[in-house]
Amino acid sequence: MGQWNPHKNPKDNRDFESVAEIVCDIADRALGGWDDFTDDIRTYPLEILKLYKSEDCPEPLNEEVYQDVLRDYPERVHRAIHRAICSRIY
């Protein structure tokens, strides 16, 4: 058997040029977990923010660059997640 190689996302080792890029990356990752049939657009962004700020935060969102943005700009991240969901639905 071959050696197991975990999936690498090209965004994981990316150097961000702005807070806006990080916010968009977080929103894109959050959108990946959105389910049109079971998730509620009113609560999902808050649930995601809570998860991403917790000890159970998935990699690479537990890295300092993401955590700084989640801590310093939670409203901005919330709006970006909400917009990403709306643009997908409508």
What tens digit of pLDDT does each residue of 2-35 get?
A: 444 444 555 555 678 999 999 999 999 999 999 9
Q: How confident is the model at residue 88 (pLDDT cuts 50, 70, 90)?
A: confident
How far apart CA 72 and CA 23 sit, in angstroms, is 11
pLDDT tens-place string over residues 28-73: 999 999 999 999 999 999 999 999 999 999 999 999 999 999 999 9
- Report the distance separating Cα 60 and Cα 64, nearest Å: 9
- Structure letter (DSSP) for residue 22: H
* Distance in angstroms (rounded) separating the CA atoms of residues 90 and 54: 31
Asked if the model's pLDDT at residue 89 lies above 70, the reply is no
